[in-house]
Chain A
């Protein structure tokens, strides 16, 4: 009964909040303004908030931190409730269309001009735009590289791939099979069932993520490209037996010397560079299928303003400062260290002295990789449904399900969910 009660309470709360969510009149900027900012638990925002005090002394920014899974859910509940909290929304980029279709985000074009937008990677600006309005300003982008334990590969008699080499999946698999022992796994993916990380496998074979209307999936996610790519993925876990089914994070297994290779984000470069792993390691380019094309995933955090905020303009000014103004540099170098979406910061990785020596110089590999063939995630108002259902598909295939069968089912499942966006 308690769980039913909880659900009903949530519904009650969202209904009552939506009833009282009428916007109050806006304050002028010299009066004290309090803004709330819902963000990820591992971000530190102290430096940007302190620096912004100099820019706008009357603006107080209060931070609330939650885990990744909770952040998406909290955004969902609070924005739907139109409560005005948080004022500053941390937006995972594929959700821009989803939030946009629901009118949850305040357009930023009043604080960010067309000229300002040139500060970012064009693909990121495009990803943050919905119906011609910039709804979420790009802060980070991401890419993926192949992390390699040089010692394990050399011991197995394999020539390791250099920072500029791009292996095919066939080469990666061959190496993974050679290094696999009782204690050592060959290969895995960092976000092992994440759409973000697995779509490039499919796109490398020429498969599409979604139909051009952003809603059609039948005939697309059950196409031969999807089946072939995911058969490879499933086989790594089930027939080649080179990939672990355990939920221990890939980076931890790698750091412990129990994993020879994994595809992961540039954040791991900093992590491994900061500690002595006790073995020689390196990164190389994101692999591709033989006969296919090299594709890298992209997209990461954007910041937006809650359409129900009591202080949308103050919040938008902060977001502008944070993402394309002075704040972006502070965020990158002192607060989050997440890969920047700002062109000048990406270029600074190439020239900044601290990135000239290995292992931090691998950041340069990642920065170059981010420009190779970045393919954005599908733009669809139903991304949550798409992502969740595909996440289950990846997880089922990893546990041994037949790719063709589960993809067929998922296609009809997603089609049913997408139906509501057509009305």
Chain B
């Protein structure tokens, strides 16, 4: 009896092995290799050989104002984008849960940005926000001035936030719709009997019961937005005047354009630590009080 119990207890671990192996080779090993790479520099006096250099790459980054600009841009971008996307996604999820005729059609329409590849939608937005694009055409026909959008350092980060949210909001709303639909109907019936209506119903039932979905969305959105890269690569290349130079793009530029894998790895590793810290704080704050 005892050995059978023991065997049963092992089953879950055995079943997890394939996933753990994949996780190990495709997540853990690259992370360690990346960290290792960040301690090496290319020595040009040694004919381009890779040599161990301790924290040189980190020191180089800390001394470089461009790195600090990228940190600032990444933080500003995330402080605006994450709350914005989640609040809008929550609103959209609520609307798309309305029991009206043809709601499925609306749901499909709002999911189009999710279904289109991010590269394609970025390019379409690039054309629409062009100097001679659709948006400026509409502005001009309304008598307003044409806007430079991602050609000006004042508007470019806003344009990137707009495009990433155009894709992000319906995507995160997907999870929240599922969460809202998972709330048992009896709770609302009981609330009706107790006389809770409108906002009260929303804040006392919907939001608390959505907590798990929200926690997931918050963490996933934070990670995705800290690592945002494609719109910056396709639209602005970090410009104008570094106004959209997010950390991920700075890492790409150093590693794959300048060929400086060392500082690029150092930067990615620091970004990794930063995201880990932010996500841990978020998870801590989102836990129920008794869980803490």
Given A406-B241, A420-B42, A5-B27 contact (CB < 8 Å): yes
Assign chain A's interface to a size class: 35 or more
Nearest CB of chain B from residue A331's CB, rounded to whole Å: 28
- Interface check A184, CB cutoff 8 A: no
- Expressed in whole angstroms, the Cα–Cα distance for A386 and B20 within the complex equals 44
Q: Which of A4, A246, A413 has the most chain B CB within a 10 Å cutoff?
A: A4
Given A11-B33, A396-B240, A246-B261 contact (CB < 8 Å): no
- Interface check A42, CB cutoff 8 A: no
Nearest CB of chain B from residue A279's CB, rounded to whole Å: 22
Nearest CB of chain A from residue B221's CB, rounded to whole Å: 12
**Is B258 within 8 A of A388, CB to CB?**
yes
- Interface check B96, CB cutoff 8 A: no
A–B pairs, 8, beta carbons within 8 Å: A8-B33, A15-B33, A73-B257, A76-B257, A399-B152, A413-B65, A422-B44, A423-B45
- Expressed in whole angstroms, the Cα–Cα distance for A384 and B224 within the complex equals 29
Q: Which B-chain residue is minimally distant from A247 (CB atoms)?
A: B130
Q: Which of B29-86 contact A (CB under 8 A)?
A: 29-31, 33-34, 36-37, 41-45, 47-50, 60, 63-66
What 5 A-B pairs have minimum CB-CB distances, sorted nearest first? A8-B30, A102-B48, A12-B30, A103-B48, A399-B151
* Besides the known contacts A4-B248, A7-B248, A381-B44, 7 further A-B residue pairs in the complex with CB atoms under 8 A apart: A2-B227, A3-B228, A5-B27, A7-B264, A11-B34, A15-B33, A80-B261
Nearest CB of chain B from residue A239's CB, rounded to whole Å: 15
Q: Which of A401-423 contact B (CB under 8 A)?
A: 401, 406, 409, 412-413, 416-417, 419-423
Nearest CB of chain A from residue B192's CB, rounded to whole Å: 42
Q: Which of B48, B63, B252 has the most chain A CB within a 10 Å cutoff?
A: B48
- Interface check B256, CB cutoff 8 A: yes
**Is B66 within 8 A of A80, CB to CB?**
no
Residues of A within 8 A of B (CB): 1-5, 7-12, 14-15, 18, 72-73, 76-77, 80, 98, 101-104, 244-247, 381, 384-385, 388, 392, 395-396, 399-401, 406, 409, 412-413, 416-417, 419-423
Q: How many residues of B contact A (CB 8 A)?
A: 58
B214-236 vs A, Cβ < 8 Å mask (1 yes, 0 no): 00000000011001111000000
Nearest CB of chain B from residue A15's CB, rounded to whole Å: 5
Contact among A8, A9, A102 for B42, CB-based, below 8 A: A102
- Interface check B179, CB cutoff 8 A: no
- Expressed in whole angstroms, the Cα–Cα distance for A401 and B50 within the complex equals 39
Nearest CB of chain B from residue A103's CB, rounded to whole Å: 4
- Expressed in whole angstroms, the Cα–Cα distance for A414 and B258 within the complex equals 12
Q: Which of B132, B228, B258, B271 has the most chain A CB within a 10 Å cutoff?
A: B258
Nearest CB of chain B from residue A403's CB, rounded to whole Å: 12
Nearest CB of chain A from residue B171's CB, rounded to whole Å: 13
- Expressed in whole angstroms, the Cα–Cα distance for A422 and B252 within the complex equals 23
Cross-chain pair count, CB within 8 angstroms: 127
**Is B256 within 8 A of A1, CB to CB?**
no
Given A103-B47, A388-B258, A4-B42 contact (CB < 8 Å): no
**Is A420 within 8 A of B240, CB to CB?**
no
Q: Which of A72, A73, A423 has the most chain B CB within a 10 Å cutoff?
A: A423
- Expressed in whole angstroms, the Cα–Cα distance for A35 and B83 within the complex equals 54
**Is A399 within 8 A of B148, CB to CB?**
yes
- Expressed in whole angstroms, the Cα–Cα distance for A14 and B34 within the complex equals 11
- Expressed in whole angstroms, the Cα–Cα distance for A246 and B130 within the complex equals 7
Q: Which A-chain residue is minimally distant from B130 (CB atoms)?
A: A246
Nearest CB of chain A from residue B159's CB, rounded to whole Å: 13
Nearest CB of chain B from residue A408's CB, rounded to whole Å: 12
**Is B47 within 8 A of A7, CB to CB?**
no
Given A5-B26, A399-B152, A101-B130 contact (CB < 8 Å): no
- Expressed in whole angstroms, the Cα–Cα distance for A336 and B158 within the complex equals 43
Contact among A5, A7, A101 for B44, CB-based, below 8 A: A101
**Is B30 within 8 A of A11, CB to CB?**
yes
**Is B64 within 8 A of A76, CB to CB?**
no
- Interface check B107, CB cutoff 8 A: no
**Is B47 within 8 A of A396, CB to CB?**
no
- Expressed in whole angstroms, the Cα–Cα distance for A396 and B248 within the complex equals 21
Given A80-B259, A399-B148, A8-B31 contact (CB < 8 Å): yes
**Is A7 within 8 A of B151, CB to CB?**
no
Given A8-B34, A12-B33, A246-B41 contact (CB < 8 Å): no
Contact among B30, B151, B152 for A9, CB-based, below 8 A: B30
**Is B252 within 8 A of A7, CB to CB?**
yes
**Is A423 within 8 A of B44, CB to CB?**
yes
- Expressed in whole angstroms, the Cα–Cα distance for A388 and B256 within the complex equals 12
**Is A12 within 8 A of B29, CB to CB?**
yes
Q: Which B-chain residue is minimally distant from A98 (CB atoms)?
A: B259
Nearest CB of chain A from residue B150's CB, rounded to whole Å: 9
**Is B66 within 8 A of A413, CB to CB?**
yes
**Is A5 within 8 A of B30, CB to CB?**
yes
Contacts of A103 in B (CB 8 A): 47-49
**Is A4 within 8 A of B272, CB to CB?**
yes
Contacts of B272 in A (CB 8 A): 4
Q: Which B-chain residue is minimally distant from A416 (CB atoms)?
A: B64
Given A385-B258, A388-B257, A388-B258, A11-B265 contact (CB < 8 Å): yes
- Interface check B113, CB cutoff 8 A: no
Contacts of B176 in A (CB 8 A): none
**Is A421 within 8 A of B64, CB to CB?**
no
- Interface check B210, CB cutoff 8 A: no
Contact among A72, A246, A399 for B240, CB-based, below 8 A: A399
Q: Which A-chain residue is minimally distant from B227 (CB atoms)?
A: A3
Contacts of A72 in B (CB 8 A): 257
**Is B60 within 8 A of A420, CB to CB?**
yes
- Expressed in whole angstroms, the Cα–Cα distance for A53 and B214 within the complex equals 65
- Interface check B131, CB cutoff 8 A: yes
B257-274 vs A, Cβ < 8 Å mask (1 yes, 0 no): 111110011001001100
**Is B229 within 8 A of A3, CB to CB?**
yes
- Interface check B253, CB cutoff 8 A: yes
